[in-house]
Amino acid sequence: MNRSQRPLYLFLHIHKTGGTSLGTLLERVYPAGHIKLFTKSTEENWDAVCETVAQGAEGYEMLQGHFTQFGVHQFSTRPMKYITILRDPVDRIISYYYHIIRSARHPQHEEIKRFSNLEEALPFVGADLQTRVLSGTARPGSPLTPNDLAAAKRNLEEHFAVVALLERFDESLILMRHALGWQKLMITPPLKNVATNRPHEVSESALKLAADLSRYDQELYAFANTLMDRQIRQIGLPYWRDRIEMQGRRTFYRFRMGVKQALSK
């Protein structure tokens, strides 16, 4: 297969979905020079990635970054597939609020911090962002429509090699191994919530509001779970072999950490 025919993958990273952990892992899988990270604003990243794929993305196997929307493949001179990671929509929007509050350089920081509490701010912090980004049809600032949701579902099914899920992260890594042709099973340390300003409990009224604001994302998230279950069935026995291996490695990791903590006392 010549270079122009090799598949090119793009990790479309949506804010507050656990994508930083996945991005770090991708940098372990792909050697330097084979992966390109776009680190500027979503608008600047969009322009840069469109130019990169239009020129053939020579030497690269994986591109990753935050982008304004789905659709970069339209400009690619090579066969192209996406990966992304989704998160439970209620958890994502609440997490995003606390991210904005603690990040003084975030463009919305001054706007959001004027609200006295989470519930007042939630309607302004990017509800249904996962559907908006993945639809490729939603206009900035315009309300989403059922057509946008349908477009996002269609894109996930037709253009994504893997749709990872934060809540099913280990399963997602196994699917990536098979879909992207990784030689070995990759594993990360247990995922942790790095936020220091998020309370352990959120009020029922705030959770209900977050759910009401994320109806499209909830439907998209349920659809992504269906896609994952389908891929697992298609892989069959090799998936379950990897799952047993991953569970064993997780058990060993917990044992090693327990011993290390005991010896440090």
Burial 230-255 (b: 16+ CB within 10 A, else e): ebbeebeeebeebeeebeeeeeeeee
Q: Please tell me the predicted confidence (pLDDT) of residue 151.
A: 97
Which pLDDT does position 192 carry in this prediction?
Answer: 59
Q: Mean pLDDT throughout 220-225?
A: 98
Which DSSP string do the residues of 209-257 spell out, in sequence order?
HHHHHTHHHHHHHHHHHHHHHHHHHHH-HHHHHHHHHHHHHHHHHHHHH
The predicted structure's pLDDT at residue 142: 87
Give the integer Cα–Cα distance in Å for 207 and 213: 10
Task: With H, G, I as helix, E, B as strand and everything else as coil, classify residue 195.
Answer: coil
Task: Give the whole-angstrom CA distance, residue 60 versus residue 179.
Answer: 17
pLDDT at 127: 87
pLDDT in tens, 8-55: 999 999 999 999 999 999 999 999 999 999 999 999 999 999 999 999
* The pLDDT value given to residue 65: 96
Compute CA distances 15 → 31, 68, 77, 264, whole Å. 25, 11, 28, 37
Q: Could you tell me the fold of the domain covering 3-94+126-195+215-264?
A: Rossmann fold (3.40.50)
pLDDT, tens digit, for every residue of 110-168? 999 999 999 999 999 988 999 999 999 988 778 999 999 999 999 999 999 999 999 99
The pLDDT value recorded for residue 260 is 81
pLDDT confidence of residue 29: 95
Sequence spans of domains, the chain:
3-94+126-195+215-264
CB 109 within 8 A of CB 103: yes
- pLDDT at position 198 is 63
pLDDT tens, 153-195? 999 999 999 999 999 999 999 999 999 999 999 988 766 555 5
